[in-house]
Amino acid sequence: MFKSLPKFVFFTGKGGVGKTSLACATTLDLASKGKMILLVSTDPASNVGQVFEREIGNRITKIATAPGVDAIEINPEEAAADYRERIVGPMRGVLPEVALKSIEEQLSGACTIEIAAFDEFTALLTDNDLVDRYDHVIFDTAPTGHTIRMLKLPGAWSGFLEAGKGDASCLGPLAGLEKQRDRYAAAVDRLSDRDATRLVLVARPRHSALAEVARTSSELAAIGIRNQHLAINGMMPEETGGDLLASALLKRDQDALAGMTPEVAALPRTVFALRSENLVGLAALKRFAAGEEDVVVDSQSTTNEKSGFPTLGKLVDDIEGPGKGLIMFMGKGGVGKTTMAAAVASELSARGHEVLLTTTDPAAHISETLAGDQPGLTVSRIDPAVETANYHAHVMATKGKDLDDQARAMLEEDLRSPCTEEIAVFQAFSRVIRESGRKFVIMDTAPTGHTLLLLDATGSYHKDILRHQDKVSRARLVTPMMRLQDPQQTKIMIVTLPETTPVLEAAHLQNDLRRAGIEPWGWIINSSLAAAETSQPLLRKRAQSEHEQIAKVRDTLSKRYAVVPIQAVEPVGVERLKGLCRRALDSAAA
């Protein structure tokens, strides 16, 4: 596994890259050498309990099946609920109910969950009496640079939110930090100590994942966390057996590694090969931790049931019915939202419809994906950097104009949050939404459900407009939020991958949208091996494991879905994109 590990090891990375598997395998590897290990998980999709075949929960638990290992799972949702109540509770009976609801909503998003989880494990990180019992403390998931920057800010946060000086992004969590300031400072110092702490950046060998690693690495280095290690998880083995799909996937992985930034390429690196078995269960993790060879016994019977999967083309048939409307593609980074949006846009325009594809994707990327013109298809690009800068300037010129230097610094930090970009971009998107009344508008990279809730719950747009209309005008008024909530005008497409964590994260997104009064219309399960053709034994075995997640979407998450096969050749160009919609492609021939 990893060599010469310090006392504290943090695994961080996007959902579905294998953080938990690598954290658990590292724990087992160290324990097998006689070390005492505490494994701490703050991953909302944690399966640490499943790995060790026993319930763990929010208490330190001795793992009988793994001598030398204790574990604790911090439930971020529960931690956030407790954290939220500590802040809001004292205000009950003091502030109006509408103000309390607004504050609670500001405290309901991803930033609060991350802060609350960090609040929990800083207690472990700084408890010397506890950590001195262990040779190593392994953390499954680490705080982002944004969270750490917030914890390092000087000044008093309490009262800032109540004074109305905050904005609808991530300021809410900061209101509860003051009492824990000394403990947070000690935790940040420990995180920055290269002799005590190593941060392992976990990524799949994909261009998008490694670009995210580059951003994370740079952001953490800028705040003093420089003891970093790159873990490439799931590299396609070189033994492809002449299979076209396997050979193409190997080349894709190699090209991604060759395209790393010089800074990321310079990091110490460990590469873990893609395995035929999912790393779930103690036996599988022990084999992986021990470096045992991946033995694949191939059955000659087919593992594919692709003929039974609904295709993307069927979804387009249903989308096409009204002849117009807003189609929004949502999902975590790296699941293929841009490709799916471009595919649907290309197919609808090919069927004779006027289509506007609006995206926050870099112009070069979407142009490369389309690789040509399509009659009836127009592309508009919203530049997130420009929109965020404009939004930032507006907030500082209005809400920030009368603040003192300390308060302005806090507002500046709040405006660095991911939510700020989403709000700014959504405002730009809102300008094109009304065009969906006469054509198809395909929107790539949409705001999350939490951001939509903030826009609505704080009265930033929707309620402000309603409040200033008379009864007759209000009856005729249609705001962007109202369009999103109307299934006759808007179809929300959730894009995911056929893997445990991406499906779980997509389910969380769906719940957020429902809280905002928005019902997703359909799901797209992208890059499926189960829907592809391959003779390579490792890929065939992995294809079988996807059926459980596809069944979960079909049976419990969405009545309408499509499965798109993984492609041996990237679906670049209008014809290939349209091909994704028209049939379940033989991916090896694609």
CB-hemisphere CA count at 13 Å for 200? 28
Residue 103 clears pLDDT 80, i.e. is over it: no
The pLDDT confidence band at residue 557, using thresholds 50, 70 and 90, is very high
Q: Which residues are the active-site residues?
A: 16, 18-21, 43, 501
**Those residues with Cβ within 8 angstroms of residue 74's Cβ, 6 or more apart along the chain or in another chain:** 40, 41, 42, 58, 117, 120, 121
Amino acid in position 295:
V
User: Beta strand pairing status for 355-359 and 269-273?
Assistant: unpaired
Give the least confident one: 52-66, 135-149, 536-550.
135-149
Residue 445 clears pLDDT 50, i.e. is over it: yes
The pLDDT confidence band at residue 22, using thresholds 50, 70 and 90, is very high
The pLDDT confidence band at residue 374, using thresholds 50, 70 and 90, is confident
pLDDT of residue 468: 52
Q: Rounded to an integer, what distance in angstroms lies between the CA atom of residue 49 and that of residue 2?
A: 23
- CATH class entry, domain 8-289: alpha beta
179 vs 21, residue with greater confidence: 21
55, burial (CB in 10 Å: exposed 0-12, middle 13-18, buried 19+):
exposed
Average pLDDT over residues 225-253: 93
pLDDT of residue 544: 92
Residue 465 clears pLDDT 80, i.e. is over it: no
479 vs 215, residue with greater confidence: 215
Residue 307 clears pLDDT 70, i.e. is over it: no
Q: Rounded to an integer, what distance in angstroms lies between the CA atom of residue 392 and that of residue 396?
A: 6
Give the least confident one: 118-122, 220-224, 303-307.
303-307
Q: Which of 309-323, 396-410, 450-464 has the highest mean predicted lDDT (pLDDT)?
A: 309-323
The pLDDT confidence band at residue 588, using thresholds 50, 70 and 90, is very low
Block residue for tokens 């799931």? 234
569 vs 510, residue with greater confidence: 510
pLDDT of residue 403: 84
Give the least confident one: 156-170, 184-198, 268-282.
156-170
Fold match between 8-289 and 309-582? yes
Give the CATH H-level superfamily of domain 309-582.
Answer: P-loop containing nucleotide triphosphate hydrolases (3.40.50.300)
Residue 463 clears pLDDT 60, i.e. is over it: no
pLDDT of residue 491: 95
Give the least confident one: 235-244, 327-336, 413-422.
413-422
CA angle 300, 528, 329 (to 5 degrees): 170
Mean pLDDT, the chain, whole residue set: 81
The pLDDT confidence band at residue 31, using thresholds 50, 70 and 90, is very high
Q: Rounded to an integer, what distance in angstroms lies between the CA atom of residue 538 and that of residue 536?
A: 6
Average pLDDT over residues 131-149: 80
276 vs 77, residue with greater confidence: 276
Residue 369 clears pLDDT 70, i.e. is over it: yes
Q: Rounded to an integer, what distance in angstroms lies between the CA atom of residue 126 and that of residue 120?
A: 11
Residue 464 clears pLDDT 70, i.e. is over it: no
pLDDT of residue 321: 92
Average pLDDT over residues 261-289: 90
Query: Nearest 10 degrees: CA dihedral of 446, 450, 455, 459?
Result: 160
Residue 433 clears pLDDT 50, i.e. is over it: yes
How far CA 170 is from CA of 110, 146, 415, 569, 582, in Å, comes to 9, 10, 8, 40, 42
Q: Rounded to an integer, what distance in angstroms lies between the CA atom of residue 485 and that of residue 505?
A: 21
What are the residue boundaries of the structural domains of the chain, listed by start?
8-289, 309-582
pLDDT of residue 144: 63
102 vs 515, residue with greater confidence: 515
pLDDT of residue 266: 97
Phi, psi of 102 (to 5 degrees): -65, -45
Q: Rounded to an integer, what distance in angstroms lies between the CA atom of residue 452 and that of residue 508?
A: 14
pLDDT of residue 169: 47
Q: Rounded to an integer, what distance in angstroms lies between the CA atom of residue 434 and that of residue 33?
A: 63
pLDDT of residue 335: 87
411 vs 233, residue with greater confidence: 233
Answer yes or no: are the C-beta atoms of 327 and 441 closer than 8 Å.
yes
